[in-house]
Structure formats: structure tokens, C-alpha cells
């Protein structure tokens, strides 16, 4: 080979992608596609959820340090365990944002803006309906019930948001809620550059019987 010729670049060939198809597992040797409008539950794997969430930043990335949806999900699980909620609630707490592994984390203000623009402030938008499709597919695959709103899971989600908002963006917090800050910092520190949350998420899911 001519020494001035660069070595050939070896890349994974991506599958042919249709207009509403998403490539899953770009980190795999053999990635595949899934239709966003009709996801096959049997093709949704736990590790793909973990990778997607560990690469997706909360708050649109507008924080002093990166904080991922995987970290948020682990925090919600830790809160459910702290309160002694049953195992089904713990599973839903861990998986409540699983659809965001494939759809991204659309912030609440953006969702509200879409509802107002699309449907004159109606309660749902086209993104809400797409998210519901994925939640139902994930429920079918893993036996969870994240497509349904659970008050206990919502409570964990809201507390997690308050602590994250305080720790990452300096928002005020009540003394009662401040007891959860150490739990948040433990999970944040375990992230190892946030991708460490992949293994932690998968391990937590397997421990809860999600396979």
C-alpha cells in the first residue's frame, strides 16, 4: 500500500431506512430498523433502552453538568424504593421514560407549545400520540404499565425533577425535599461520564425481573 494512502475505513453498514423508520443499535455489529408508527414490541430490547436513555440529556442539555434520562430513571427508582413502594411500582418508576430512548426527551414546555400550536391548546398533540404508541409497545414487551398514569410513579418523577432542578440549575427546594439530594449525588457520581448508567440501568431492570 502506498504510504500516502490512508487505510480503509471500516464502518457498520446501516440498514435501508424508510421515512418513519428509526435505526436501533447503531453501536451493534448489526443494527436494525423499527417503524416509529408501528413498533414491534418483540424487537425492543432492554439494552437498547439503556443505551438510548444514557445518551439522552435532561433539560435539553441546559445544565452545568450532563444529566441523562437514564440517571433520572434510576433516581425515580431509588425514590420508589425509599418509600417502600411495591415491585410493580418500582418497575414502572424505572421504565417510565423508556420511550424517550427512541423518541428523545422532549421537555414539558415544548410539549405544551406543540399542543397549543397543533390543537388550540387541546390536551394532546401528535407527539403525545406517538409517545403513547411506544409506551404501549414497551408495556407489551416487558409487562410494565407505563402507558397508564400512576400516582406513585408520578410522585417519584416530580420529586426527582425538583431535586435535579435544584442540584443542576440552582432552583429553590424545601427542607423536606433536601433529604433526597444525597441520593441524587450518589447516582450522579456513579454515572462515570453518564454512560456508566447503561450497566446500572440494565442491572436494576434485571433485578426487578424485566427481561
Give the C-alpha separation, 154 to 168, whole Å: 21
109 in Cβ contact with 60 (< 8 Å): no
pLDDT for the residue 9: 43
* Chain center to CA of 96: 8
Give the C-alpha separation, 148 to 141, whole Å: 15
pLDDT for the residue 3: 47
pLDDT for the residue 7: 47
pLDDT for the residue 54: 93
56 in Cβ contact with 104 (< 8 Å): yes
Give the C-alpha separation, 180 to 176, whole Å: 9
pLDDT for the residue 85: 97
Interval 64-121: pLDDT, tens: 888 999 999 999 999 999 999 999 999 999 999 999 999 999 988 888 888 888 766 6
Q: List the beta strands (DSSP E) in 73-182.
A: none
If the chain, 211 residues long, is cut into consecutive pieces of 10 residues, what is the mean pLDDT of each piece? 48 71 86 93 95 93 89 96 97 98 91 78 79 96 94 96 93 89 86 73 95 87
Element (H, E) at 110: helix 108-119
- pTM as predicted: 0.87
Amino acid at each position: 500500500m502506498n504510504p500516502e494512502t490512508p487505510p480503509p475505513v471500516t464502518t457498520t453498514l446501516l440498514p435501508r431506512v424508510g421515512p418513519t423508520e428509526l435505526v436501533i443499535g447503531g453501536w451493534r455489529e448489526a443494527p436494525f430498523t423499527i417503524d416509529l408508527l408501528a413498533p414491534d414490541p418483540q424487537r425492543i430490547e432492554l439494552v437498547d433502552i439503556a443505551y438510548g436513555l444514557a445518551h439522552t440529556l435532561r433539560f435539553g442539555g441546559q445544565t452545568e453538568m450532563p444529566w441523562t434520562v437514564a440517571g433520572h430513571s434510576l433516581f425515580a427508582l431509588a425514590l420508589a424504593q425509599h418509600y417502600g413502594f411495591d415491585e410493580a411500582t418500582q418497575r414502572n418508576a424505572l421504565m417510565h421514560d423508556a420511550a424517550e430512548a427512541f423518541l428523545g426527551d422532549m421537555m414539558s414546555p415544548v410539549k405544551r407549545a406543540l399542543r397549543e400550536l397543533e390543537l388550540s391548546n387541546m390536551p394532546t398533540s401528535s407527539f403525545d400520540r406517538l409517545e403513547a404508541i411506544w409506551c404501549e409497545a414497551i408495556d407489551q414487551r416487558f409487562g410494565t404499565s407505563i402507558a397508564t398514569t400512576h400516582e406513585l410513579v408520578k410522585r417519584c418523577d416530580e420529586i426527582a425533577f425538583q431535586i435535579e432542578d435544584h442540584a443542576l440549575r440552582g432552583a429553590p427546594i424545601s427542607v423536606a425535599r433536601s433529604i433526597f439530594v444525597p441520593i441524587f449525588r450518589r447516582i450522579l457520581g456513579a454515572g462515570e461520564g453518564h454512560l456508566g448508567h447503561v450497566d446500572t440501568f440494565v442491572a436494576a431492570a434485571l433485578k426487578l425481573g424485566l427481561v
